[in-house]
Structure 1
Amino acid sequence: MEKKYFDSLIQAIDLIGDGIHIIDASGKIVYYNSAAKFLDEIDVDKAIGRHILEVYPSLTFDTSTLLSVMKTGKPIYNIEQNFVNYKGDKISTINSSLPIVYNNKIVGALEISRNITKMRELSEQIVNLQRELYESNNFSNENEIGNEKKRKPNVSFTFLDIIGQSKEMLKLKTLATKAAMSDSPVMVSGSTGTGKELIVQSIHNSSHRKHKPFIAQNCAALPANLLESILFGSVKGSFTGAENKPGLFELANGGTLFLDEINSMPLELQAKLLRVLQDGRIRRVGSSNTIDVDVRIISAINTDLNTVLEEKQLRQDLFYRLNVIALIVPDLSKRKEDIPILVDYFIKKYNKKCNKFFIGVSKKVLDIFLDYSWPGNVRELQHAIESVISLYDGDIIREEHLPFQFKNFHPNKYFTLDTTIIQPLNVAVDKVEREIITSALVQTDYNISKAAKLISIPRQTLQYKIKKLDIPFEQ
């Protein structure tokens, strides 16, 4: 290879985001790219030409992945390695290492390393905090009842915290309440911001497991090796730097383990999870012993069920094991009759938090809210109300107070096509609703409760519609 092409190749490798190390047959470092230098905080000039164990004294001939492939001649992929650099900092990486063979002889080894130090630190902190929180909660809130200890639930949401009187939400709460009486796995699907974890916590808090742990883990953006040790635990020596640590399954024993965004779990780990669900036993990473666990699994996905199967985001056998009870949380755009109730709830919540005195929203703002598509769902509505109350004073939330996404948003407009005025669907719906409500009021002598029951909607919703549709009300 001509030198200019070789130099170009080296420059290209230097731009790769993952660390790349190359050692020769004697174990001496012959190449570091920039990412490796940044990862290990090693001065390249001081490292080149020195034996890898001299530069990484916390490693050994057995624990160094580079030296291992030199010895065996076999590549290894996606192996976690923890080591201490010369500054004393603990580094965690996911390594893929390959022997370099020339004329049927191993002349060196190459390794690609991805830095997961921060990920591992944060994940271990979360596991430790969940353990400490649960243990603290247990021992500070236990009451003796005979020979048993009744412990305070370690999650706060119940079905009373689910705000909504729409047909969709009432049906969801009914199904979720029934699901709480069972130990069967539950899969909750819904878009981001719809309140899936609120449903999940409510199920746990209404179940016979409510005095046992509730442990939550997001499965997205974690390498399979790291997520495996978090879920199942590890034993000392299972990988470099590993200690004896319980996983989330052990912490959740007797209670509920909530696996959020489970469709993001690496496929190779899904098979191990399936085995745990079938056997009721876990095996810590690096251990040959199994541990019995009694854990109810509730999972959540942020897409629809068909997409998960069609795009093979979940193994089919695991999907059917987890999806025994399926609950679908509707988008806010599909239950807009709940918007006035939610607005009132969030105004009261943030009035109290911010010491403000808002009493409601203007008709224009309510019209905007009812016509808006709400891509962020309930969470977006909540943050919009929080933003206004945090920044402004007054008694009514007006259009000029709203966040940027509502600026220049004009509800209830007419659209023209070939000079013909076309009435939007929502205007036509308002007209029909006005006729039905007026008729119901007349038949019940303007008794709100009887009229609401007659047309099968909540009383509060009927009151809102009478005001919104400007229906004359006689008493």
Structure 2
Amino acid sequence: MVNKNAGDIQSLTRMNQLYEKLLNEVDVGIHVINEKGKTIIYNKKMMEIEAMASEDVLDKNLLDVFMFRESQNSTLVKALKTGKTTKNIKQTYFNNKGKEITTINHSFPIKEEGRITGAIEIAKDVTQLERVMKENMLNKQNGKITFDTIIGRSQLMETVVDEAKRATRTSSSVLVVGETGTGKELFAQSIHNGSNRSRAPFISQNCAAIPDGLMESLLFGTKKGAFTGAVDRPGLFEQADGGTLLLDEINSLEPSLQAKLLRVIQDKSIRRVGDTKDKEVDVRIIATINEDPLDAVANNRLRKDLYYRLSVVTLFIPPLRERKEDILLLTQAFIDKYSTLFNMDVKGISEGVKTLLQQHNWPGNVRELEHTIEGTMNLIMGEDVITIQNLPGRFRSRYQAEEEPLVQGDEGDLSESNQTLHEKMTKVEKMYIQRVLKNNGHNITRAAKILGISRQSLQYRLKKFGL
């Protein structure tokens, strides 16, 4: 009798071990609660799905461990309370660290002699699938850049957007002037997508990213046999035929290539490297430059004749420090973007953060702001509002010490300690031009002579400063 009982116990132990192994090998999550709502079975796959350890869940009430949206209850608890089976129900909830989890659940009650004694849930993880779908949706929305994509309600931005919209009506060359990170390519793509060339290719090339020796073949293409290993390959102009070619940082292009580019724009034809025949192309050129184009011309970084050819339409994109009323709009847009990409639920920023963001001069412009928000989102641990403590250290440390009081002089407020030399010089230049213009009755010719610059150079600066 004893031997028989020992054999039964041994058999039962082996069976339990088999069941446990089976539970941990299946590729679905299994979660079982008893009639009090406490977890009694929690398999390995469920731990992976919910990023939880068994000791954090077993023998604990499910509702004390997991959080559910106000509009949604636990499908497992529902099966326990109602005694009803549900199949293929998508549920989104949060683990004890605030991580969002999405599963497709099959939940049903455990009944013994007509009484509900627990509930079982079989869950399939779709968290990653949900994230990929959100990313694809976001990419689809961002796939075609239009003027609606450009964020800004400041007068400066509204003015330049209006000028850019007018440029969509023709195929004239456009020169987009702006500091690094101001969003010059957004304007270029918006012009293309708003024009009658929108169905044709939009090709973009950063002129500073390719060695000079390769740039010519990249732009104009190659003919087989032109050099060792050369094959028949179309260049960017041929690829953009009928559409738009964006040449970013045009001032990085070597002078000899600038001369060839000028010929292509004038003749509307290209010649592949190593070829003897010209080929007609119909391409609209949009170029960008991150410095004053007249300075680039004066310092031989941009050919004067190419500048005149490219600047048929010239757009001046204002730096972020000159349109600070747009900072909070942009900040919220970036929070929404990275909340979706990172599967988070951040709503906004605190009043303290608003103050700091508007105090900063943003030398990296919109790009710096976006990177700051992205970095901040990586530091958040479950919060739904960004506070000063969440900001990246390198950014936050600038504002730990109390700022020095500003000193007013007869040139205006020029003593801000967090301004770069370039920013201060720009402010002085603007005020001095205003003074000379005022003293000369706003006569541009006379003012230019006093300033020691050409009339055209003064007109460029007036437009740049919005005077």
Q: TM-score range by the shorter chain?
A: 0.5 to 0.7
Shift of 1:312: 1.6
Query: Is 1:191 paired with 2:175?
Result: no
Query: Is 1:339 paired with 2:339?
Result: no
Preserved CA contact (<8 Å) 1:153 1:213: no
SS in 1 for 2:238: helix
How far apart, in 2, do the equivalents of 1:218 and 1:158 lie? 21
Structure 2: segments with no counterpart, 5+ residues: 1-139, 417-467
Shift of 1:412: 7.8
Aligned with 1:273 (options 261, 270, 287)? 261
Shift of 1:153: 13
Write out aligned runs for 1:54-73 (5 A). Answer: none
Query: Is 1:388 paired with 2:380?
Result: no
Q: Which amino acid aligns with 1:401?
A: N
SS in 2 for 1:217: strand
Q: Which amino acid aligns with 1:182?
A: T
Residue in structure 1 matched with residue 437 of structure 2 by the alignment: none
User: Aligned in 2, Cα 1:343/1:153: closer, same or farther, shift over 3 Å?
Assistant: closer
Shift of 1:404: 2.6
How far apart, in 1, do the equivalents of 2:230 and 2:354 lie? 56
Aligned with 1:409 (options 383, 387, 398)? 398
Q: Which amino acid aligns with 1:288?
A: T
| Deviation sequence 1:43-79 (CA, Å, 0-9, x none) | xxxxxxxxxxxxxxxxxxxxxxxxxxxxxxxxxxxxx
How far apart, in 1, do the equivalents of 2:415 and 2:220 lie? 53
Write out aligned runs for 1:37-436 (5 A). Answer: 156-392=144-380, 393-410=382-399, 413-415=403-405
Percent of aligned positions with the same letter in both sequences?
Answer: 49
| Deviation sequence 1:414-445 (CA, Å, 0-9, x none) | 5288xxxx99999xxxxxxxxxxxxxxxxxxx
User: Aligned in 2, Cα 1:357/1:323: closer, same or farther, shift over 3 Å?
Assistant: same
Q: Which amino acid aligns with 2:224?
A: K
TM-score by length of 2: 0.55
Shift of 1:317: 0.5
SS in 1 for 2:175: strand
Q: Which amino acid aligns with 1:388?
A: T
Q: Which amino acid aligns with 2:215?
A: L
Preserved CA contact (<8 Å) 2:406 2:413: no
Structure 1: segments with no counterpart, 5+ residues: 1-151, 427-475
Shift of 1:302: 1.3
SS in 1 for 2:363: coil
SS in 2 for 1:408: helix
| Deviation sequence 1:211-268 (CA, Å, 0-9, x none) | 0010111111433331111111111111111111111111100000010011000111
Shift of 1:356: 1.7
Q: Which amino acid aligns with 2:385?
A: I
Preserved CA contact (<8 Å) 1:221 1:264: no
User: Aligned in 2, Cα 1:318/1:355: closer, same or farther, shift over 3 Å?
Assistant: same
Q: Which amino acid aligns with 1:390?
A: N
User: Aligned in 2, Cα 1:423/1:323: closer, same or farther, shift over 3 Å?
Assistant: closer
How far apart, in 2, do the equivalents of 1:160 and 1:344 lie? 16
How far apart, in 1, do the equivalents of 2:183 and 2:207 lie? 17
Preserved CA contact (<8 Å) 1:155 1:201: no
How far apart, in 2, do the equivalents of 1:264 and 1:284 lie? 21
How far apart, in 1, do the equivalents of 2:403 and 2:348 lie? 24
TM-score by length of 1: 0.54
User: Aligned in 2, Cα 1:356/1:155: closer, same or farther, shift over 3 Å?
Assistant: closer
How far apart, in 1, do the equivalents of 2:246 and 2:406 lie? 50
How far apart, in 2, do the equivalents of 1:258 and 1:416 lie? 43
SS in 2 for 1:285: coil
How far apart, in 2, do the equivalents of 1:362 and 1:268 lie? 53
RMSD, matched Cα: 2.4
Q: Which amino acid aligns with 1:408?
A: S
SS in 1 for 2:214: helix
Q: Which amino acid aligns with 1:259?
A: L
Preserved CA contact (<8 Å) 2:293 2:307: no
SS in 1 for 2:264: helix
Shift of 1:390: 2.7
| Deviation sequence 1:312-334 (CA, Å, 0-9, x none) | 21111011001110011111111
Preserved CA contact (<8 Å) 1:263 1:301: yes
Shift of 1:277: 0.7
Shift of 1:407: 2.2
Name the stretch that deviates more: 217-226 or 405-414: 405-414
SS in 1 for 2:191: helix
How far apart, in 1, do the equivalents of 2:251 and 2:146 lie? 26
Preserved CA contact (<8 Å) 1:158 1:205: yes
Preserved CA contact (<8 Å) 1:347 1:385: yes
Q: Which amino acid aligns with 1:354?
A: F
How far apart, in 1, do the equivalents of 2:235 and 2:343 lie? 42
Preserved CA contact (<8 Å) 2:319 2:365: yes
Shift of 1:154: 11
How far apart, in 1, do the equivalents of 2:396 and 2:275 lie? 58
Q: Which runs of 4+ in 1 moved over 4 A?
A: 152-155, 422-426
User: Aligned in 2, Cα 1:294/1:154: closer, same or farther, shift over 3 Å?
Assistant: farther
How far apart, in 2, do the equivalents of 1:187 and 1:345 lie? 27
User: Aligned in 2, Cα 1:365/1:200: closer, same or farther, shift over 3 Å?
Assistant: same
Preserved CA contact (<8 Å) 1:362 1:398: yes
